[in-house]
Amino acid sequence: MSAFTSSAAAAPAAGVVNRIQAKLPDMPAAMAKIGSYLLEHPQAPLELSIMELAEHTKTSPATVTRFCRLLGYAGYVPFRVSIASDLGRSDARESWKADIGRAFGPDDSPRDVLSTLVNAHTRSLTETAAVIDLAQMNKVARRIAMSQHVDIYGIGGSSVMAKELQSRLYRIGINAHYWAEVHAGLTSAAIQDSNSVAIGISNTGRTEETLQMLREAGEAGALTVALSNNPGSPLAESADESIITSVHEQFLQPDDLSAKHVQLLVLDLIYLLVAQVNFAQTTSKLAASAMAVSPHRRPTRAARLEVGTGRGSRNTGKVEDHA
């Protein structure tokens, strides 16, 4: 006979169970046996034939058929289909909680979803700002500003944050690189020294590849910095400096998505503090990069109107470049 899952190990088929509970007091004794059995083992029909269910309940296949009809089903097959449908809906909601988050429901209105997001993000940002060690942040920023090389490691969703910090630092003259692939990252980490800074980003602090790269950089002599939401994580414990963010609620899954805003707050702060240390270099680098990309930007409406009216350099007959 087939083995089947008891209600203790799986979610019940709610719709069918409700029908059985409603009809059970008025059922004949033989049908009541089937009803009581199915309340304890709601998924049994998915794995038992009609003959097997009759044997388990010490009834007959004909009694099982009458039981199904009493509940409003044409027979045992439609009864099994209804149980499967109920379990599918239950599994879908459990999957939603695991993959999307507990704070949202599939039937929530757009306004409710927006309000929940704003409240969660606001609280996480406020809590992170309250626990940030500004002296530590300033120390890290100064080391970055004076370093010869900065490595930033991040895998999966954290690679987005690593790339964001790298692009900002690089634009203001910091020799920064980000690594989202462990072999390339380890290669770079191994050639760091005491004039380098290595930053590992992982929401959980348990991403093995990020741990390996940060540890390799530390063994090579670099100052290691961990950015994580988990103060007791291996990443945080292995780094010279550990920056911990606060996510009020894991409202959005996978969990690294819910940490993006607070991580970006920390990265913005690092970037701005580094820019302050290297003020002269920062301003010249930003000006140079702005000039380099200006030909690829559309002119403002005011500039277009000026061109249209013919105002510009009258000596050369060409419109002045207002970039």
Would you say 202 and 228 are in contact if contact means Cβ atoms under 8 Å apart?
Answer: yes
Phi, psi of 163 (to 5 degrees): -65, -40
pLDDT of residue 281: 82
Which long-range contacts (C-beta less than 8 Å, at least 24 apart) are formed by 138-143? 138/273, 139/241, 140/197, 140/223, 140/225, 140/241, 140/243, 140/270, 141/270, 141/273, 141/274, 141/276, 141/277, 142/273, 142/277, 143/197, 143/223
pLDDT of residue 43: 83
**Amino acid identity of 117?**
L
**What's the distance, CA 109 to chain centroid?**
22
Same fold, 14-98 and 119-293: no
Q: What is the mean pLDDT of each run of 10 residues along the chain (323 residues)?
A: 41 65 89 92 87 94 93 89 72 48 64 77 84 94 96 93 95 95 97 97 92 97 94 93 76 56 92 90 82 82 67 47 42
Phi, psi of 225 (to 5 degrees): -130, 130
Would you say 320 and 310 are in contact if contact means Cβ atoms under 8 Å apart?
Answer: no
Q: How far apart are CA 175 and CA 261, in angstroms?
A: 25
Which long-range contacts (C-beta less than 8 Å, at least 24 apart) are formed by 61-70? 63/30, 63/31, 63/34, 64/34, 66/31, 67/27, 67/31, 67/34, 67/35, 70/23, 70/27, 70/31
Q: What is the pTM of this model?
A: 0.60
Q: How far apart are CA 17 and CA 38, in angstroms?
A: 8
Structurally, at CATH architecture level, domain 119-293 sits in: 3-Layer(aba) Sandwich (3.40)
Would you say 70 and 26 are in contact if contact means Cβ atoms under 8 Å apart?
Answer: no
pLDDT of residue 148: 95
pLDDT of residue 307: 61
14-98: which CATH topology?
Answer: Arc Repressor Mutant, subunit A (1.10.10)
The three-state (H, E, C) secondary structure of 121-177, written as one string: HHHHHHHHHHHCCHHHHHHHHHHHHHCCEEEEEECCCHHHHHHHHHHHHHHCCCCEE
Domain boundaries, the chain: 14-98, 119-293
